[in-house]
Amino acid sequence: MSRELRVIPLPGIPELVDGDDLGALLVEAAARAGGLEDEDVLVVAQKAVSKVEGRVVPLDGIEPSERARELAGATDPRRIEMILREAREIVRTRPPLVIAETRHGFVCASAGVDSSNAGGPDLLVLLPVDPDASARRLRAAIRELVGVDVGVVVSDSFGRAWRRGTTDVALGVAGIVAVVDLAGSRDSAGYELHATEIAVADEIAGAAQLVMGKTDGIPAAVVRGLGVDGDGRGSDLVMPRERDLFR
């Protein structure tokens, strides 16, 4: 892992809607940036994936429960209701802030339910049902379209305990390792390393965020030069409950 890395933004992807061929749009955007290469990692914002997969719901018609009304404070209780429906468990609340575990096992704000960049003021974007499957489909589509083997990361911005600000992390992964396990590796002086797992897919997602920004509507980037081919999953990045000191 000591080659130079390039992180290339893929602008020019139009506003996406249910059924759009995201694989083809990514290939076109990448072609404008010089094309995709084997071992590239294509990072795609969760919101883009969710939109083409129809994971957008209108606030209209959501009937908030009593609990949603309690947690909503002065905000829209229909949004909180959708968060509660997307959550497997509520981890913390400070109305109107809800930190929840999603059905995938991700612990994040609002169970991943988002109203920014949703395509309209009365719409909510939900996380993909299976972000790893989404990543695998995009990887297969790109191989089909241009015959190139890329890794794919479906990314989202998560807050962290104890630290300010969000960093982008990997929800879905295909074609690369998600966590590099250095157990048994030795450092440059020959001593065995103890802190052994590096969440490379999360670092890749964060690197891509630096060129995608949050307001300028660039939903994808290519990370080139890594050499992290593998068969990882976004679910590899979820701390198993029995190892989790913070649940």
**Which residues inside 220-239 make contact with its own copies, applying CB under 8 A?**
226, 236-239
How far is the C-alpha of 207 from the C-alpha of 222, rounded, in Å? 10
* Binding pattern for the stretch 59-78 against its own copies, x by CB under 8 A and - elsewhere: --------------------
Among residues 234, 228, 233, the alpha carbon closest in space to that of 158 is found at 234
* 61: exposed, middle or buried (Cβ count in 10 Å: 0-12, 13-18, 19+): exposed
* 135: exposed, middle or buried (Cβ count in 10 Å: 0-12, 13-18, 19+): buried
Which residue do the tokens 């020019």 mark? 12
Binding flag, residue 157, its own copies (CB under 8 A) = yes
Which residue lies nearer to its own copies by CB, 14 or 144? 14
Q: Which two tokens stand for residue 69?
A: 């009304």
**Angle of CA points 50, 52, 57, to nearest 5°:** 55
How far is the C-alpha of 110 from the C-alpha of 91, rounded, in Å? 10
* Binding pattern for the stretch 83-122 against its own copies, x by CB under 8 A and - elsewhere: ---------x-x--x-x------xx-x----xxxxxxxx-
**Interface region with its own copies, contact rule CB under 8 A, candidates 24-32, 53-61, 143-151, 153-161:** 153-161
Which residue lies nearer to its own copies by CB, 62 or 198? 198
Binding flag, residue 11, its own copies (CB under 8 A) = yes
Binding flag, residue 242, its own copies (CB under 8 A) = no
Binding flag, residue 22, its own copies (CB under 8 A) = no
**With contacts defined by CB under 8 A, how many residues of the chain interact with its own copies?**
82
Q: Which two tokens stand for residue 11?
A: 């602008």
> 96 and 81 in contact (C-beta within 8 Å)?
no
CA atoms within 13 A on the CB side of 75: 17
Binding flag, residue 161, its own copies (CB under 8 A) = yes
**Interface region with its own copies, contact rule CB under 8 A, candidates 8-16, 48-56, 81-89, 144-152:** 8-16
Q: How far is the CB of 121 from its own copies (least distance, A)?
A: 6
Exposed e or buried b per residue across 81-113, where buried means at least 16 C-beta atoms within 10 angstroms of its C-beta:
bbbbebbeeebeeeebebbbbbebebbbbbbbb
Looking at 23, 112, 131, 206, which residue binds its own copies (CB under 8 A)? 206
Q: How far is the CB of 130 from its own copies (least distance, A)?
A: 18
Binding flag, residue 174, its own copies (CB under 8 A) = no
Q: How far is the CB of 140 from its own copies (least distance, A)?
A: 25
